[in-house]
Amino acid sequence: MHRWNVLIVVSLAMFIITIDTTMMNVAITALSQDLNTEIQHIQMAIAVYSLVMAAGMIASAKLAKIYGTKRIFIIGVILYGIGTVTAALSQNIIVLTLGWSVIEGIGAALMIPAILSFLVTTYQGKERVRAFAVYAAILVGGAAIGPIIGGLFTTYATWRWAFGMEAFIIAAILISSRLLVGQGKTEKRPGLDWGGIALSTTGLVSLVVGVISANTYGWWQAAKPLVIGGLEIAPFGISAAPLFMITGGILLLMFRLWLKRQERKGNEPLVPTSLFRNRPYMAGISTTLIILIGLGAILFATPFFLQTMLHTNAFETGVAVIPMPLAMLALSFITARLVTRIQIEHLIRIGIVVMIAGAIVMANSFSPSMTVMSLTPGLALIGIGMGLALSQIGNVTISFAKSSETDEASGLYSTFLNLGRAIGTAAVGAIMLASFLSSIVGGINDSVSLPQQEKNDLTVLLTDSSKHMKLKEFEAEIKKTQSDYPDEDISELRAIGVNAVDDSMRVTFYTLAGVFGGSLIVSLFLPRRKLVSTVDDATRQPSDSEL
């Protein structure tokens, strides 16, 4: 039993990080009301949480290698505890973002690569397959329980207690951390690659800030200029968002070149460049990244639709989305058995195909007469597919790295994982709003009962709203405008609005089916691997001489 103590402790840590990611998705409305802020700001806080984790994991993985995995893990746990208490006591969106998105995000960034490193270094062969199955089960179990916990606290008490509960779990992890036997600090410590840290962090931050800010400033044409110190930034009418994204891409390219320079000089880089040349490893990372973009989008779009259109409360929303994470939970355990008979890359591809089918079923579930239960089949299919695809992909991906690169491989993998979720969460709002406005303008123009002049006025109003992306201002203007219309026109407009919402959700989930299709294409580059009688060899990390 002592051998499984490590798994118990790190699973608890992964559990709170996972529920923290999902439990606030069902409390979006309550958070915006209690903190007197807009839903877009809550969406940004969710995205920034994943952003901070993604930006810090590469550096934290190297810190674990230099100073010891256990020490860095414990520091991360302490920071996470400080952050969750700050979030629980926050009175405005700034303090919430500081505690939840920033401090907790840094703590999680220190913890997650260490968690993966603990699993890879502690377990081998069949034990590692079981350990990663439990890890994936805890990961998706947290996703299952997170919305329920968030819904219970938000509906029957306050969302603050959800963060307060995490503080008690943090205390239990700190007490149990003595059970961990982590890699100690290196005898000959390499210096920290500060140049690599600066380039990787600023590059990742710039990239995701660009995605997040696109909803406000526009994806290409500037809806409004970015104002910094009185200076308006919108060169040639171009939005600040693509400028951030392009800057991020350039910085990450410079990061790659910096790593090569460090190796040529005989210095130890932040990340070995051999990882980027390792095709199986990069194929696994890229497949995971694209799947997590879809998952992040689903975890935001579905609760948002349920609360705003079907008027479910936070608890009901959590119950409504539970078929997906429960299916993921069940298939994670089943996949651990299947990998002993079926090549893992086949299971991953089958899972992705099932996810595509689930997204298509979801897209066709939206209609004016739909109920909460209408979403269950699609959510269950997506969950089944994710359980098949994600259960062992982390195990297999990291196993392709050299044994001396475990920490860096874990950090880079975790970075891509959280980067995907951040991008998905941020981008889905733009997809939903753009398709909604396009559909409602089309509905107005196709209406046979609305007078042409009214169609023109409403089209101008909607077009202006789409440029400025101010949902509350748009709703207020619509309510003011409605007083000038007869009842039959108001009924027509409401029907057009309902159909537009359904159309926007269909477009969103068809788009997500295409995203999953992209992950299927990338997964074709995964090498053949079957975990049967040779399971010990198959999950063994290659030695330095083998790669």
Cα 168 versus chain centre, distance:
25
pLDDT tens, residue by residue, 331-388:
888 887 888 788 888 899 999 999 999 999 999 988 877 888 899 999 999 999 988 9
Higher pLDDT, 146 or 72: 72
Answer yes or no: is 390 within a domain: yes
Answer yes or no: is 111 within a domain: yes
Residue 530 has pLDDT above 70, yes or no: no
Residue 406: CATH number of its domain: 1.20.1250.20
Answer yes or no: is 126 within a domain: yes
Q: What is the 3-state secondary structure (H, E, C) of 497-537?
A: HHHHHHHHHHHHHHHHHHHHHHHHHHHCCCCCCECCCCHHH
Q: H helices of 123-235, where?
A: 125-156, 160-176, 194-217
Question: Are 260 and 197 contained in the same domain?
Answer: yes
Q: In terms of C-beta distances under 8 Å and separation of at least 24 residues, what long-range contacts does 101-106 make, across chains too? A: 101/45, 101/46, 101/48, 101/49, 101/51, 101/52, 102/48, 102/52, 103/79, 104/20, 104/49, 104/79, 104/80, 105/48, 105/49, 105/50, 105/51, 105/52, 105/53, 105/56, 106/52, 106/56, 106/76, 106/79
Give the separation between CA 292 and CA 296, rounded to whole angstroms.
6
Domain total in the chain: 3
Answer yes or no: is 393 within a domain: yes
Phi/psi for 85 (5° steps) reads -70, -40
3-state secondary structure of 219: coil
Answer yes or no: is 546 within a domain: no
- Do 491 and 256 form a contact (C-beta atoms < 8 A)? no
pLDDT tens, residue by residue, 112-134:
888 888 888 877 777 787 788 78
Question: Are 409 and 455 contained in the same domain?
Answer: no
Question: Are 481 and 534 contained in the same domain?
Answer: no
Question: Are 99 and 64 contained in the same domain?
Answer: yes
Question: Are 243 and 293 contained in the same domain?
Answer: no
Give the separation between CA 544 and CA 153, rounded to whole angstroms.
50
The residues, any chain, with a CB within 8 Å of residue 337's CB and separated by 6 or more, are none
Answer yes or no: is 545 within a domain: no
Higher pLDDT, 86 or 148: 86
pLDDT tens, residue by residue, 453-508:
666 666 666 555 544 444 445 555 555 555 566 666 666 667 777 777 788 889 99
Question: Are 26 and 76 contained in the same domain?
Answer: yes
Residue 106 has pLDDT above 60, yes or no: yes
Question: Are 81 and 170 contained in the same domain?
Answer: yes
Query: Domain containing 263: what range?
Result: 193-269
Answer yes or no: is 487 within a domain: yes
Angle at 501 between CA 368 and CA 148, to 5 degrees: 85
Question: Are 337 and 406 contained in the same domain?
Answer: yes
Strand partners, 227: 232
Give the separation between CA 379 and CA 384, rounded to whole angstroms.
9
Give the separation between CA 356 and CA 350, rounded to whole angstroms.
10
Of 248, 269, 290, the residue at which a domain comes to its end is 269
Mean per-residue pLDDT for 33-58?
79
pTM: 0.81
Answer yes or no: is 229 within a domain: yes
N- to C-terminal Cα separation, the chain: 34
Question: Are 447 and 422 contained in the same domain?
Answer: no
Question: Are 412 and 283 contained in the same domain?
Answer: yes
Question: Are 430 and 309 contained in the same domain?
Answer: yes
Question: Are 247 and 199 contained in the same domain?
Answer: yes
